Amino acid sequence: MSGLEGVVAAQTILSEVDGLAGRLIIRGHALDQLAGRWTFEQVVGLLLDGFFPDMPEDVSGALGAARVRVFAQVAGLDAVLAARPPVEAVRALMARLPDGDDLETALNLIAAPAVFTAAVLRAAGGEAPIAPDAALSHAPDTLRMMRGSAPSAGEAAALDTYLVTVCDHGLNASTFAARVVASTQAGLGSAVLAGISALKGPLHGGAPGPVIDMLDAIGEPQNARPWLEAALDRGERLMGFGHRIYRVRDPRADALKTAVRLLGRDSEGAAGRIAFAEAVEQAALAILRERKPDRPLETNVEFYTALLLEALGFAPSAFTCVFAMGRTAGWVAHAREQTAGGKLIRPQSLYVGPAPKAAA
Ligand code: COA
């Protein structure tokens, strides 16, 4: 019963995580058929297909218009919020959006993490927010709003690949939280706020930051083996390796590794960092095989997420916000699927406390 492991709590047409085969299916497509091939907007259209009667043909234009609509809420980003961790500031701004169950609410919610993360990161650096450009695609506009200048085509493609890669992943903790709230018919905004609150925890979406800490602590490729051996001797886990469900390689790690390598072709600095990280990855996999020959411990999604988001210029403190930019599409689709089923999620608990004392 602990952690509901193995409990099936929903039927879904949205995604399947096959941990033994190392396969992720999103609405009938294997991840490797989508990542690097479909845009985020196309995958938003795929996830939401059939859940809204008025779904537009031009999802990119509709998402661009939603970015412009939600930008009005950036005025609520005061000094107090700007000083909070980015994911808390973004969540607070998300809470200012009107709740509802319609398409406009859905698109506002999917657009919002990108607009608010860019504004929050700029505010932390004392810079004014940059308004969205509705004519651009979601990924390049996100990087432009954050930096103030247009990203390269390769950078935009890398962020697009990341958003597609993390858009949905079965009944993970944040998606379950979103479905529980949706089942009360509280509205899509409430469901997404539940999702982002669950995602924020280090056991879920908060893990890639520590990968950067590990790489920085190792510093040079020749330090990798002694550093990793010493960490394991201290009983520590190697960040970015192992997974609760995948017993073989996490397919998302491969999708992101490909995207990171493409980024490396654009920049010498990024190429050097990637080569170093790959050396650390190889050393870690070799040591884990030596020490845990019976347990398959492979690279997980967080390892290459860390490298990709770092290369794109996101601060590690904002990595969870970028995760939310992609995963909100999944939360919204799951929330609609849950409400369409109409059933309130209300499990039972087993009381193991003391019995009331008999009256004297
Ligand atoms: N480094 C070293 N050893 C690891 C390890 C890692 N990253 N992940 C698992 N192990 C070992 C454990 O020490 C344990 O060894 P033991 O049986 O000798 O005690 C064994 O593998 C099983 O660990 P357990 O926690 O039961 O496995 P799990 O599959 O449920 O754990 C994670 C999944 C993700 C929590 C775990 O792999 C981990 O902590 N990884 C590092 C953090 C990380 O990258 N998180 C992001 C996940 S996407």
**Residues belonging to the chain:** 360
* 125 within 8 A of 59, measured Cβ to Cβ: no
Q: Whose CA is nearest to atom 38 of ligand 1?
A: 242
Rg (CA), the chain: 21
For residue 56, which amino acid is it? P
Residues with CB under 6 A from ligand 1: 207, 237-244, 292, 295, 297, 300-302
pLDDT in tens, 16-59: 999 999 999 999 999 999 999 999 999 999 999 999 999 999 99
Question: Measured between alpha carbons, how far is 276 from 218 in angstroms, rounded to an integer?
Answer: 10
What φ, ψ does residue 238 adopt, rounded to 5°? -85, 125
* 33 within 8 A of 255, measured Cβ to Cβ: no
pLDDT in tens, 116-138: 999 999 999 999 999 999 999 99
Q: Whose CA is nearest to atom 42 of ligand 1?
A: 239
In 133-187, where does DSSP find H-type helix?
Answer: 138-147, 153-165, 173-183
pLDDT band at residue 140 using 50, 70 and 90 as cut-offs: very high
Closest of 3, 349, 14, 330 to residue 178, by C-alpha: 330
Question: Measured between alpha carbons, how far is 330 from 48 in angstroms, rounded to an integer?
Answer: 9
Residue 47 to residues 12, 40, 133, 305: CA-CA distances in angstroms?
11, 10, 24, 22
Residue 126 to residues 78, 86, 210, 352: CA-CA distances in angstroms?
11, 14, 26, 53
pLDDT higher than threshold 70 for residue 330: yes
pLDDT in the model for residue 5: 82
C-alpha 237 – ligand 1 centre gap (Å): 6
Q: pTM score, two decimals?
A: 0.93
Sign of the alpha-carbon dihedral angle for 233, 236, 241, 244: positive
Here the tokens at position 78 are 């005061």
pLDDT in tens, 253-300: 999 999 998 888 877 777 899 899 999 999 999 999 999 999 989 998
Catalytically annotated residues: 243, 302
Q: Whose CA is nearest to atom 31 of ligand 1?
A: 244
Name residue, tokens 């319609």.
102
| Mutation test residue for ligand 1: of 5, 247, 292, the one with most atoms within 8 Å of CB | 292
pLDDT in the model for residue 90: 98
| Mutation test residue for ligand 1: of 291, 295, 327, the one with most atoms within 8 Å of CB | 295
pLDDT band at residue 60 using 50, 70 and 90 as cut-offs: very high
